Amino acid sequence: NQTTTWDKVDQYITERLIPQDAVLEEVLVTNQQAGLPPFDVSPSQGKFLNLLVQMKGARRILEIGTLGGYSTIWMARALPSDGQIVTLELDPIHAQVAKANLSLAEVDHLVELRVGDALEQLSQMKQEGVEPFDFIFIDADKPNNPNYLKWALQFSQPGTVILGDNVIREGEVINENSEDARVVGVREFYDLLAEEPRISATAIQTVGSKGYDGFVLGIVNS
- The least CB distance from residue 41 to ligand SAM, in Å, is 4
DSSP letters of 51-82? HHHHHHT-SEEEEE--TTSHHHHHHHTTS-TT
Span 89-128, contacts to ligand SAM by CB under 6 A: 89-91, 94, 117-118
The neighbour count for residue 192, using CB atoms within 10 Å, is 17
Among 11, 21, 132, 141, interactor with ligand SAM by CB under 6 A: 141
The CA distance from 115 to 109, in Å, is: 17
Is 73 in contact with 102 (CB distance < 8 Å)? Answer: yes
Span 24-43, contacts to ligand SAM by CB under 6 A: 39-41
How many chain residues are in contact with ligand SAM, going by CB under 6 A? 17
Which span sits near ligand SAM by CB under 6 A: 63-71, 147-155, 174-182, 185-193? 63-71
Is 169 in contact with 186 (CB distance < 8 Å)? Answer: yes
Q: Tell me if 196 contacts ligand SAM by CB under 6 A.
A: no
Considering the complex, state which of residue 113 and residue 118 has its C-beta at the smaller distance from ligand SAM.
118
Considering the complex, state which of residue 90 and residue 203 has its C-beta at the smaller distance from ligand SAM.
90
Considering the complex, state which of residue 117 and residue 196 has its C-beta at the smaller distance from ligand SAM.
117
- The least CB distance from residue 197 to ligand SAM, in Å, is 28
Considering the complex, state which of residue 88 and residue 220 has its C-beta at the smaller distance from ligand SAM.
88
Which span sits near ligand SAM by CB under 6 A: 1-9, 66-74, 126-134, 156-164? 66-74
| 179-190: b (≥16 Cβ within 10 Å) or e | eeebbbbbbbbb
195-202 own/partner pairs: CB under 8 Å, 24+ apart:
196/149, 196/153, 197/221, 198/153, 198/156, 198/222, 199/153, 199/162, 201/162
- In eight-state DSSP terms, residue 130 is P
Which span sits near ligand SAM by CB under 6 A: 6-14, 15-23, 87-95, 176-184? 87-95
Q: Tell me if 70 contacts ligand SAM by CB under 6 A.
A: yes
- The least CB distance from residue 181 to ligand SAM, in Å, is 12
The CA distance from 63 to 136, in Å, is: 6
- The residues that touch ligand SAM, with contacts defined as CB under 6 A, are 39-41, 65, 67, 70-71, 88-91, 94, 117-118, 139-141
